[in-house]
Each structure stands twice: as structure tokens, then as C-alpha cells.
Amino acid sequence: MKSAVLAFYDTHRMSVVVDMFWPDINPKSTAYKSKVRVIRRWKQQRPHIESMASKPRTAQQKRARQKGAANPLSDDAEMDILDWIIALRSHGVSVSSKMEELEALSIAGLYDVPKSAFAASPTWMATFLARYSLSLRAKTRHGQASAADSIEVAKDFTATVRRRIVDEGVTKIYNADRTAILFEYVPKHTVDERGARTVWVKCGGKSKERLTAMLLADNPGQKYDTWVVFKIRPSTVATTRDENTRLRHDFSRGMWQDMEALEKETYTAIFANGKG
């Protein structure tokens, strides 16, 4: 069939070729775009395809694989997955194993591969990466060095607090805990070329999106209501900025409508500032 498609493509436009051999495909669908890529790939592989078609033993084969390399996905489907990975990595977007799994299942559906025959298992993903000299790599990231004497610092702080309690006659102690809550996170691992020493991941200057939760309790054990803080750039207009602070917890007029509703729904005070 591949050789017949290529022969027809020699004298007709791509849209006519697809309509001739795959009349059920919608020209505006993802399947149509995928089929166009496949035909163009066949054109690049034309000498090999014509060689296989000329031999009676291999003329009816749909794909050519080495012994022991059986795979429910066709070469064209795998190349679509590879093109997708290359496109994302060229823009610095990380590709996690879960993203690879979901994309493989999506492309398998475009090629009418039954779900019972292909599940994008970890074994398949490992062999796929090995076939194309790829591997899961940890992204290069900023190091964070902790103080070598952190234990001593903690002991000194505790002793200082205890002395202050005695000196000031303090009867109630409050403990405020500033905790980050992450709601978006760039994966720590991505598919990239095997052996690459540095793996770049574009993350807009930060690898995660978060808000800050403030937790408050006192020494008798009473816990107080939690409140959260979002990092938002304040208005550059002084009167608007003061109004937002006074009436809307530093949120803009439009954003405060959503935040006020969220406060009532969660019984949690929500604030904003430029520091987060």
C-alpha cells in the first residue's frame, strides 16, 4: 500500500491522496495532520519501501522490524511520538514519563490500535527511549546549601526564647508557621538525549507556582484560623493601590469578586501582596 500511495502522490496533491486512500478522515482533524506527516515520511523512505515491495516475501508486510523487536505500534506512530518529544524539548518544555504515556496512548488511538493491545507500559516506554537514544534525565537546577551548624543555631535560638520568656514574664506564646503550598510544578525529570551533561528546562525563572499559608497556634494548644497569601503585583496607581488594600485585601476589583466568593466557600481569609 505504501508504494501505491507514493505512486499516486507523484501526480496528485496531498489532500487528494488522503481523500483517495483514507476517505473517512476529516481534513480538519488531528488524524488528517498525522496522516500527512506519515506520507511525507514515506516519501523520505521511498527507496527502502520500493525495495521491500519488489520482493514477494516482504511485499505484503506492513512494517519491517528486526527480529525480537516486536511492537504493537507502527514505525510511523513511534515517529509521531518522537517528533512530539523533539518539538517540546526544542522549546525547553520538560517531558515527564506520564506525559509520554498519555501522548503514546493518544497517538495509538489515531492509528486504531486497540487498548487491549497497547497500554504504554513502563517496559514499552523504556524500550522506546532506548531505540531512539533517549532517557529520563534530571533537569539541571539551582543548588541549595544548608548551614553546617544549623543544629547549633536551633539550640541557640531555643535558649534565647526561653530566657526572653523568663525576663519578660510571658504567659502565652504564639507560633506562626509560613508554609508554601504548591499547585503547579515543573517535573524534575524529562526525556532528553542520552548522555547529555546539562538538561535545560524552560520554567519562566521558577520551577513551581505556589501560595503561602499562614498557620497560627499558641502554647496551650489552641489553633487559629488559617489564612493564605498570593503573590500579586500591586497597582501602580497610588489611589487604586490604597483602595485595594483598604477594601479588598490588596486584590484588584475584578479579582476580588472571585476571591471573596472563595473566602466564603472555604471559610479562609485570603490576602495578596507583592512578596507572596
pLDDT of 19 reads: 87
Q: How many Cα atoms sit within 13 Å of 34 on the Cβ side?
A: 23
Distance separating alpha carbons of residues 244 and 272, to the nearest angstrom: 10
pLDDT < 70 regions, the chain = 59, 61-71, 138-149, 182-192, 194-210, 274-276
pLDDT of 3 reads: 81
32-to-23, 25, 82, 107, 144 alpha-carbon distances in Å: 10, 6, 18, 12, 48
pLDDT of 198 reads: 52
pLDDT of 187 reads: 64
pLDDT of 145 reads: 46
The helix (H) or strand (E) run that includes residue 209 is strand 208-218
Any idea where the domains of the chain sit in the sequence?
Answer: 1-62, 175-273
pLDDT of 105 reads: 92
pLDDT of 138 reads: 66
CA angle 42, 58, 11 (to 5 degrees): 35
pLDDT of 159 reads: 92
Distance separating alpha carbons of residues 246 and 243, to the nearest angstrom: 5
Mean pLDDT of the chain: 80
| Helices assigned H by DSSP within 45-121 | 46-53, 75-90, 97-110
